[in-house]
Amino acid sequence: MKPPVDSELAKSFLDIARRADETHQRLAPAIANWQKIADQFFKQYSSVLTKQRLDELERIASRSLAITASLKTIQDFERAKASLLGKGSELDSLVKQIAHLPVDQRKHVGAANNAVKALISTALQDAKSNIEIVDLESRLASERADVTLPVRLGGMADGRIHPVSQVFDEIAEIFADMGFRIAEGPDIETDDLNFTKLNIPAEHPARQMHDTFYLKTPNTAQGTNAAPFVLRTHTSPVQIRTMMSQKPPIRIIAPGRVYRMDSDATHTPMFHQIEGLVIDESTHFGHMKWCLEEFCKAFFEVDQVKMRFRASHFPFTEPSAEVDVGAEAIGKPGQWLEILGCGMVHPKVIANCGLDPEKYQGWAFGMGLDRITMLKYGIPDLRDMFAADLRWLRHYGFSAFDVPTLAGGMSG
Ligand code: PHE
């Protein structure tokens, strides 16, 4: 038997390569490689196999490779792999015939079958990688984004950021610049964190001031004495959560919903507060005054702001103060606007959180988010803020692109 210099197989390969070249340009080098493997095969087996068997293998190989070279999709590939190499394929039935051959032929025929099988597997893998590359290239070409096009607003233009969210972003931006992180706590709090650890023990009159929503106590395995849950009446429990889980120095602000049984023109049962807490070994009331003054100037976007600290009382701060801002800041001279409560964190509160009050001290404030939103943006009625009226939101809301920055302006 002659080596296959001008075998049918070699010719059909060239033909495959030519056709593949039109569709799957990249496959050409792989096809040349298949041919090299096939030539090798014939050199090896032409002297040991019958002409009939050689022709049979050549036919299978050439048909399989023609199919493989024309595969266009991964689904085509999966189907071809099953039909060319799987159970019931031509190669499979050739393998099954081996048992009926004379013993001296079995070894050669088996090895030849395997060699053709290996060739087809290699070809299928090449075709698969080729399909994946061609797919990727066509996706990259068709999904190309032109970054020079102007922004298309689409649905973004209809959506509105609620003024309270916008104001929170403004406040976060200002305090972030002073090194504060954002902390969070749950709306459903334990009585212990909302009151007791904040130095408001059971029967303390301050509990009545808060008109608390109590939740039914779940029946626990411990019996009926389990501490009740409340809808938090202020964001101050986040102070406790932070001091219990973090070592000083601490600098956080914590925004969130709070709840009190209260409803009239200036009160809604749900409203928003933002808490601030700073704890380290030496921070004092003066630092707090400076931070709050810087905050007010940045927030109201004025160079000068008048502030008044009135002595007050909160069980968790000592001394405590309520802070008013001169209404010049919002263009209404001659009045004072109350915006927040604050004070030095009570040593008992620091101790309740497992920190040493001899070593650590700090200050905290709590501000009504809705109130300062109304002041800054001239919103007349608190209740409208939570009425979910789209006309109101369209009027008072902000575009998603009005991102407040210190450099670019607070109001977007
Ligand atoms: N939690 C207080 C309130 O709801 C505000 C406050 C916070 C006062 C922190 C002092 C320090 O009224």
- Cα-to-centroid distance, 378 and ligand 1 (Å): 24
- Beta strand 181-182 with 250-259: parallel, antiparallel or unpaired? parallel
Q: At 400, phi and psi to the nearest 5?
A: -60, -15
Residue 317 and residue 360 in one domain: yes
- In the structure, what pLDDT confidence band is assigned to residue 96 with cuts at 50, 70 and 90? confident
353 located within any domain:
yes
299 located within any domain:
yes
Q: What Cα–Cα distance (Å) separates residue 261 from each residue in 208, 245, 275, 393? A: 11, 30, 20, 25
The whole-number pLDDT of residue 279 equals 98
Q: What is the CATH number of the domain that holds 255?
A: 3.30.930.10
The per-residue pLDDT of the chain, averaged, comes to 87
Residue 258 and residue 388 in one domain: yes
Higher pLDDT, 411 or 221: 411
- Cα-to-centroid distance, 206 and ligand 1 (Å): 12
325 located within any domain:
yes
Are 80 and 68 in contact by the 8 Å Cβ rule? The answer is yes
Q: What single letter denotes the amino acid at residue 199?
A: N
| Total of domains in the chain | 2
Q: Give the number of C-alpha atoms closer than 13 A to the C-alpha of residue 401, restricted to the C-beta side.
A: 8
Window from 141-145, 282-286, 383-387 with minimum mean pLDDT: 141-145
Residue 371 and residue 272 in one domain: yes
Q: Return left, alpha or beta for 343; rule: phi > 0 is left, psi -120 to 50 is alpha, else beta.
A: left
| Secondary structure class of 392 (helix, strand, coil) | helix
Percent of the chain with pLDDT over 90: 52
State which residues form the domain around 329: 160-396
Are 325 and 339 in contact by the 8 Å Cβ rule? The answer is yes
Q: Which of 207, 236, 349, 372 to mutate to test the pocket of ligand 1 (most atoms within 8 A of CB)?
A: 236
Q: Give the number of C-alpha atoms closer than 13 A to the C-alpha of residue 41, restricted to the C-beta side.
A: 25
The whole-number pLDDT of residue 200 equals 92
Tell me which residue has its CA closest to atom 7 in ligand 1.
366
150 located within any domain:
no
Residue 169 and residue 135 in one domain: no
235 located within any domain:
yes
Asked whether the predicted pLDDT for residue 168 surpasses 50, the reply is yes
408 located within any domain:
no
The whole-number pLDDT of residue 224 equals 57
147 located within any domain:
no
- In the structure, what pLDDT confidence band is assigned to residue 101 with cuts at 50, 70 and 90? confident
Residue 136 and residue 169 in one domain: no
CA–CA separation, 390 and 384 (whole Å): 11
Residue 197 and residue 117 in one domain: no
